Structure 1
Amino acid sequence: MDFELFKAWFTLENMMELIQRYRSFGPVPGILLPMLEAFLPFLPLFIFVMANASAFGLWLGFLYSWVGSCTGALLLFLLIRKYGRKRAFSFILKHPKIRKLMDWVDDHGFGPLFLLLCFPFTPSVVVNIVAGLSKINIYQYMLAVSIGKMVMIFTISFIGYDLHSLITQPYRTAFVFLVIFILWYVGKRIEVRLNKRVEKGDNVEKESEMELKKGRSLHED
């Protein structure tokens, strides 16, 4: 199957139909879909959460999405923490931006992880991998994941709970799109700041190396 066609299949209507088809399995489909997204970042978490809220109701849908997403994040974190420094993942460790993000997480801990995970447009798989490679305490990590995803998933669940009113009540639709835009914008600003910090760290490191080389040259002369 073509990959683009595969991605296009993950629509809200298809996910709601899938959940209804396997409703006899109870909460399993609602938990499993967000859990898979932690390992396959091209899957639309936003759609999964909205489908759960529509199929199971606001609170149960939120709970299933939250449990699944947090469980997937923890499993990925533990896998990276255990095997991330093996030879098979050495290319990740050698990437300069990954190294800088790891150092940044080591220095700041809970705060940046919590903020990043509050926003649905943050690539959570990158955050989980970096956290797994860093030295952050697992309890700090799980606290950041559980609270950050709670904020993000409840916001999306609230949007997906009553889609009919989004169509019949234009002011609510406008409010929802405003919230989505704010989440997207803040997430992008955090991403930009992270990139600037990484680039600044790269520049400082290069300047230090140049100063060191210059000092060696003067010493040799």
Structure 2
Amino acid sequence: MKTIINKLLKKQWIIWIGLLLLILFFILNKDLISLLLDGDVEGIRSFLNKNLGFALFFLFIVMLIQNSFTVFPLVLVITINITLFGFMKGFLWSWFTSVVASVIVYCSVRYIFQDIIMKKFNPKLIEKVDANGFTYVFQARIFPFVPTSIINILAGLSTIRLFPYLLATSIGNFLYFFVLALIPAGILSAEWDEYVIWIVILAAIALYYFIKIVRNKRKAVSLEKDNID
């Protein structure tokens, strides 16, 4: 009984410390946060250009917040990264921080907040994640209407292991972020943005199922050989 109480107290401390740090971050960077909420990319660029080290840290925290609560539009965060660091470095930093942030949220939900959050989600939805695992996370990553934070939380509440979650997130985010990165880079026109995104998404899904079918066939062949032997 004492062990359970101690664990709960530790969780309470972690929650309060996390909230205090978040509030402190917003207070210390209220001007930058205001620019971010207004979508003022040029203002943010001129503000962060003075200190690239702080820019990296700030944009990582922004990505962590985005993965926790989906406060800021993802395309805006990617646009800021590309504006500051160039297309390739901005895209890679956006992708890398998104993967790290998603793992932090996943682990936080699973090991700290699971008991608190579990009641707020439909058990059938969590069961779908349990049943499909890698496939569910991968498809959700490349589907533009599923909030990133919801994917992370549902994965943390489910039984999906860290490695399949990390792999699905890495591949899915890489594909989706690359398409989003083409928009601020000016490679996609406003008329074709949506169509190209859907083409890439459908192609990614088709590729995934093709690989899955090939793997299943190989497994079936190997099982047949084992049975014959």
- How far 1:119 sits from its partner (Å)? 3.2
Q: Does the CA contact (< 8 Å) of 2:63 and 2:97 recur in 1? A: yes
1:101-128 CA-to-partner distances (Å, cap 9, x unmatched) read 1110111111111011113432111111
- The residue aligned with 1:74 is 103
**Does residue 159 in structure 1 map to residue 183 in structure 2?**
yes
Of the candidates 59, 64, 70, which is equivalent to residue 41 of structure 1?
A: 70
**Whole-angstrom CA distance in 2 between matches of 1:40 and 1:102:** 19
- The residue aligned with 1:198 is none
RMSD: 2.8
Amino acid at match of 1:159: I
Of the candidates 168, 171, 194, which is equivalent to residue 144 of structure 1?
A: 168
SS at match of 1:64: helix
- The residue aligned with 1:135 is 159
**Whole-angstrom CA distance in 2 between matches of 1:95 and 1:28:** 32
- The residue aligned with 1:113 is 137
Of the candidates 193, 214, 224, which is equivalent to residue 176 of structure 1?
A: 193
**Whole-angstrom CA distance in 2 between matches of 1:37 and 1:14:** 20
**Whole-angstrom CA distance in 1 between matches of 2:45 and 2:157:** 36
Q: Does the CA contact (< 8 Å) of 2:91 and 2:177 recur in 1? A: yes
Structure with greater contact order relative to length (CA < 8 Å, sep ≥ 6): 1
**Does residue 93 in structure 1 map to residue 122 in structure 2?**
no
- How far 1:15 sits from its partner (Å)? 3.6
**Whole-angstrom CA distance in 1 between matches of 2:50 and 2:180:** 23
**Does residue 52 in structure 1 map to residue 81 in structure 2?**
yes
- How far 1:26 sits from its partner (Å)? 6.4
Distance 1:96 1:49, change over 3 A: closer
SS at match of 1:107: helix
Q: Does the CA contact (< 8 Å) of 2:49 and 2:55 recur in 1? A: no
SS at match of 2:160: coil
- How far 1:57 sits from its partner (Å)? 1.5
**Whole-angstrom CA distance in 2 between matches of 1:79 and 1:47:** 25
Amino acid at match of 2:106: F
**Whole-angstrom CA distance in 1 between matches of 2:56 and 2:105:** 21
Q: Does the CA contact (< 8 Å) of 2:37 and 2:72 recur in 1? A: no
**Whole-angstrom CA distance in 2 between matches of 1:54 and 1:29:** 15
- How far 1:52 sits from its partner (Å)? 1.2
Structure-2-length-normalised TM-score: 0.64
Q: Does the CA contact (< 8 Å) of 1:10 and 1:43 recur in 2? A: no
Runs of 5+ unmatched residues, structure 2: 1-26, 28-32, 203-229
Q: Does the CA contact (< 8 Å) of 1:81 and 1:133 recur in 2? A: yes
Distance 1:28 1:83, change over 3 A: closer
- How far 1:67 sits from its partner (Å)? 1.0
Distance 1:93 1:29, change over 3 A: closer
Between the aligned residues of both structures, percent identity stands at: 27
